[in-house]
Amino acid sequence: MKHLDLGQLEGPVLLFGGPYSNLHALEALIDQAGRRGIPPQNCICTGDILAYCAYPAETMARIREFGCAVVAGNCEIQLAANAMNCGCGFEEGTTCDLLSASWYAHADKNVCAADREWMADLPGIISFSHAGRRYAVIHGGLSNISRFLWPVSAQEDFAEEIARIDEIISGVNYVISGHCGVSFKRIIDGIEWLNAGVIGMPANNGRTATEYAVLSAGQAQIFPLEYDHQAAHEAMKAAGLTQGYQEALLTGYWPSEDVLPSSLRRVAS
C-alpha cells in the first residue's frame, strides 16, 4: 500500500470526502477553503472523486487543478483498473447495488486514460502531523477499502482498523476516514476517529447542505456546505442520471437507505 506522508502541517486543515462528480459542490468547497485562508496543501480528500453526479470529467479536472492531497477511494481504484463496477461493497440486490450500475457507467465513460493513470498512483493512506498530534487518513478501512464504519458501528470494528493502521504508521492518535457518507466522531481506546463526511451527496438527514470538516489547534469541527444543489440536480437529469440520487440532492434523503444500519434510517426496521 502506498503511504504519503505530508509532514508537518501548520494552520487549519480542511478535510472532505466524496465529491461524487458533483462539480457544483466541489467549487463551493474550494471557495470555502479560499474564504478560510486554507491553501490547497492543507486540504485533504478522503476519496471517491467520481460517483453519482453529472460531471465526472470536469470534477476530476478541477480537483487535479486545485492540487489537494487525495487518498484513493474504491471508485478511484476501480476506475483506474478499468473494472466493471464501483467496488463499493454493497450487498448484492440492495438498492445501492442496483442503482450503482448507471452512475458508474457514466463515470467510466467520461474518465480519460491520463486520469486513470493519476488515480492508480494515489496513496492508500496519508499521514501528517499537526498541533503535536499524528494523523492517518484512509478511505473506508485498511482491511477493506469499502468497509462501512458508521457512527453506530461496534468499537471492535474501529479497533481492528486502528491496529492495521499502526502496522504502517506508528504513534497515530487521530484517524480521518470517509466512504460511508455520514460524518461523525468516535473515541476508540483514547484514539479519536473522525469521518469528515462527503460533499457530493447529503448525509441522509433531510438537508440539502453536505458536509466537510476543519481541523484547527487539534480540534475538528464539522460544517455544512451550501452549494447550488438545484443546478446539480438539473445537470443529473440532463445526463440521464435519474435513478433516484438526483432527487436526493433536493430532499436530503438517499434512495438507498437499505445500506444504512436500521437505526440511521428514517424509519428504523
Domains recognised in the chain with CATH numbers: 3-264 (3.60.21.10)
For residues 47 and 72, the answer to whether their CB atoms sit within 8 Å is yes
- As a whole number, mean pLDDT of residues 237-252 equals 96
Q: By three-state DSSP, how is residue 108 classified? A: helix
What whole-number distance in Å separates Cα of residue 95 and Cα of residue 227? 26
Quote the pLDDT of residue 211: 98
What whole-number distance in Å separates Cα of residue 168 and Cα of residue 170? 6
DSSP-derived secondary structure letter, 175: E
Task: Summarize pLDDT for 22-50 with one digit per residue, the tens.
Answer: 999 999 999 999 999 999 999 999 999 99
Task: Summarize pLDDT for 194-206 with one digit per residue, the tens.
Answer: 999 999 999 999 9
pTM, two decimals, is 0.94
pLDDT band at residue 89 using 50, 70 and 90 as cut-offs: low
Percent helix, strand, coil in the chain (nearest 5)?
35, 20, 45
Dihedrals φ, ψ of 192, to 5°? -85, 140
Quote the pLDDT of residue 97: 52
pLDDT band at residue 269 using 50, 70 and 90 as cut-offs: very low
Task: Summarize pLDDT for 98-118 with one digit per residue, the tens.
Answer: 566 688 999 999 999 999 999
What whole-number distance in Å separates Cα of residue 245 and Cα of residue 242? 7
Of the candidate ranges 4-18, 106-120, 157-171, 246-260, the one whose mean pLDDT is the lowest:
246-260
Residue with cell 454493497: 90
Query: Which residues on neighbouring strands pair with residue 186, listed in sequence order?
Result: 193
Quote the pLDDT of residue 223: 98
What is the distance in angstroms between the CA of the first residue and the CA of the last residue of the chain? Answer: 38
pLDDT band at residue 7 using 50, 70 and 90 as cut-offs: very high
Nearest residue to 53 (alpha-carbon basis) of 256, 244, 223, 259: 244
Between residues 255 and 210, the one the model is more confident about: 210
Q: What is the DSSP annotation of 21-71?
A: T-HHHHHHHHHHHHHTT--GGGEEE-S--SSSSS-HHHHHHHHHHHT-EE-
- As a whole number, mean pLDDT of residues 66-84 equals 94
